[in-house]
Structures are given as C-alpha cells and as structure tokens.
Amino acid sequence: MAKMKINTATLAFMTLALSATTGYAQEDDILSKYRAQGGMLPVEAGSPPASTAGDKAGTPNGVPARAMADFLATGNEMSDEKIEGFNEAIDSAFPMTPEMIRRYRKILEENERAAQERPAPDEEITTSLISLEPGEPAPLLTVSPSIASVIGFYDATGAAWPIEQYVLGNTENFSAVHLGENSNNIILTPQGRIGYTNMVAKLQGFDKPVTVRIKISEDVADYRRDLQVMRMGPNAEVNNASAGGMTTTVSEAGDGLLLAAITGVDLPKSARAVNVMGVDAKGWVVDGDLYLRSRHALLSPSWTGSMSGPDGIRVYKINPASVALFSVGGQIVRADIKLP
C-alpha cells in the first residue's frame, strides 16, 4: 500500500514537471519567433505591471518586456536609418534652400524678360482707298507680334460694308476673327515674328472680292486700318447737303488729297493749315483749293468735290473762302476761316 502511494505521488510529480517543461518550451518557441521577426511579445490590455526583475527575465538585452511591448505598439521608435531616410526625403522634395529658390526665380525672370521683351511697335491708324481698278495694288496691312489689328470695310459714302465671307492665305502663322455676322470688321493677329500672307474678303451684295496684303513687322503695327471701297454699299448714305441742292458722291478713285484730308496724314508738304473758328472743323489750303474736314454737313459755299470717311467724317473741296456755313444739330452755324 505504501509502495502504491509512493508511485502515485511520483506519478503526480512527474506529470506536473512535464507540464511545466512543455509550457516553458512553448513560451521559448513563441519568443524565438518574435525575436526572429524583430518584435516582442504583446502585453494584454489591463495586465498589471510586472517587476523589473521579472520583466527582464527572458527578454533580449535585459530590457523590460512591458517597455518593449509599448515601444512596438507605437511604431515611433527612432533609429539612424529613419533619421537618414527623413533627411533624404527633405533633400529630394526641397533640393534648394529658400535663398537659392529666390535667386533662381530672379535669374529665370531676367532671362525670360531678355528673350521676350522688345520695344513697342509704332502705332498706325490709317485709311486706304480701294478703287478695284485693274493694275491697282492691294492695300498692305502691317501686323506685329502680340498686337491685334482690325480691318474695317466701308463704302464710298463712309457707311459700313458688312463682310459675307473671307479667306486667309496662311492660317498657321496668322489668325483672323470676324466680329459678328453682319460686321464689317476683322481682327488679325500674327502667330509668329516673321511671315506674310493675304486675305480675300467677299463684301455683302458685291461680286468682286477685295484683297488685302498682310505682313509681319516688329517696328510698325496697323492698330486699325479702314479700307474704303469706291463703290456704293448696301448701307450707303448719300450726302445731299449743299447750298444749291447739288449731290456729290465719290464712287471711284477720286482726288487723293480728299483721302489725305480724311485721315489727316500724307498731306503734301505744300499744304498749309488754316484756322477754322465757330465750328468743329479743320482746313488746309493745297494748290489754291481749300479742303475742310468736319463731322458737320457743309451748306455753303458749294463744293467741287467731297468724300465721306468712317465715323461720319466728311471732307469738302471748295474755292478759298473766309466764311462757311455748316449744319450743326439742325441749326445753321457760321464758321470763320482765317486764310494764309
């Protein structure tokens, strides 16, 4: 009986020892796996802190298991590799210092200005006469880079002549925009610094096309060019104002001095300006004739030639006189002319 008790006690002790050994073996196996992966055993939430001596048992380098578990949980551990990676990311995203960036921008701006900046071209606003006679050269429009030029078509009376259709010879180096279905204006802009082309315009109700030459210049730009076709357009306004009821309308290539007086440029050197008082008008004496330019209709004296330009401008060719009568707002206004 005693032998049986001893055997039973021995058996119980051996079972307990085997269980402990198995538990330690399992724990060692788990720790080995975590250590191989560079990690530590997690700590269950709510577990009480263990003693320092107990924590150090079975952990690498004697570091408390609780501290190592918390360190792993945050993922914010600092290392030489992370510091080096951070610095590399900063250098990659911002390879230059703020002072270097400011200097770079200044140099870039200076180079762009040197490459693109140029003197502004001389501005031209003129009127050309188109008679459509055989052998007559087409008017020349000068355009400039970065400048939009407008061409306006008018008839012999100065009324706007709408454009039905147009064709631009070179659509790669030039762009054209028709300003509305019944507009008489086309905007032309060069797309380069060198080149030339031409444009053909079909005017409303007129079978003969009108051609215009176009060239690029960096020195001069026609900001606006009014082309007056010496024919009666669909919106023609005939000027009937005269002392004797005479009607004079230029319907073909007329006196070039009339056109020069309309624009106020290209007058001959012999032209002498006169002072017109009492009405808004300008005058010149050329070769014994007096040319008066005004928006108001001339009533007296009778003229020997006249021309209407864009914007209601009228020019009259008369014999020299010191007094003229104009129609201003439905009233007759006297103008005194001081002849040279």
Are residues 269 and 223 located together in one domain of the fold? no
Indicate whether 203 belongs to any domain.
yes
Burial 239-266 (b: 16+ CB within 10 A, else e): bebbeeeeebbbeeebbebbbbbbbeee
Indicate whether 134 and 221 sit together in one domain. yes
User: Two tokens at 110?
Assistant: 């200076």
- pLDDT, tens only, 221-271: 999 999 988 788 898 765 544 434 444 444 433 467 888 888 777 788 889
Domain span at 333: 256-338
pLDDT of residue 250: 45
Q: Do 207 and 278 reside in the same domain of the chain?
A: no
- Which pLDDT band, with edges at 50, 70 and 90, does 310 fall under? confident
Q: Are residues 223 and 261 in the same domain?
A: no
| Banded pLDDT at 305 (limits 50, 70, 90) | confident
One domain, residues 218 and 276? no
* pLDDT tens figures, 74-92: 666 778 888 888 888 988 8
- Whole-model pTM? 0.51
* DSSP reduced 3-state for 124: strand
Let me know whether 225 and 264 are in one domain: no
- If you average pLDDT over residues 6-28, what whole number do you get? 51
Are 116 and 145 in contact, with CB atoms under 8 Å apart? no
Quick one: 268 and 218 in the same domain? no
Note the pLDDT of residue 128. Answer: 82
Supply angle C-alpha 109, 113, 116, rounded to 5: 135
The CATH number assigned to the domain holding 153 equals 2.60.40.1080
Three-state secondary structure call for residue 14: helix
pLDDT tier at 96, thresholds 50, 70, 90: confident
Give, as one character, the DSSP assignment of residue 160: B
Among the candidates 213, 229, 245, a domain finishes at: 229
In angstroms, rounded to a whole number, what is the distance separating the alpha carbons of residues 308 and 302?
A: 16
Within a domain: 281: yes
Instruction: Evaluate whether residue 239 is within a structural domain.
Output: no
Split into its structural domains, the chain has a count of 2
Mean pLDDT within 32-59 = 49
Q: What is the mean pLDDT of the chain?
A: 78
Q: Are strands 314-318 and 305-308 parallel, antiparallel or unpaired?
A: antiparallel
Confidence category of residue 68, pLDDT binned at 50, 70, 90: low
pLDDT value at residue 127: 82
pLDDT of residue 257: 84
Domain boundary among 183, 214, 229: 229
Task: Examine residue 234 and state whether it is found in any structural domain, yes or no.
Answer: no
Question: Where residue 119 falls among pLDDT bands split at 50, 70, 90?
Answer: confident
| Same domain membership, residue 285 and residue 208 | no
pLDDT in tens, 159-217: 899 999 999 999 999 999 999 889 999 999 999 889 999 999 999 999 999 999 999 99
Residue with tokens 């055997």: 7
Q: Does one domain contain both 287 and 332?
A: yes
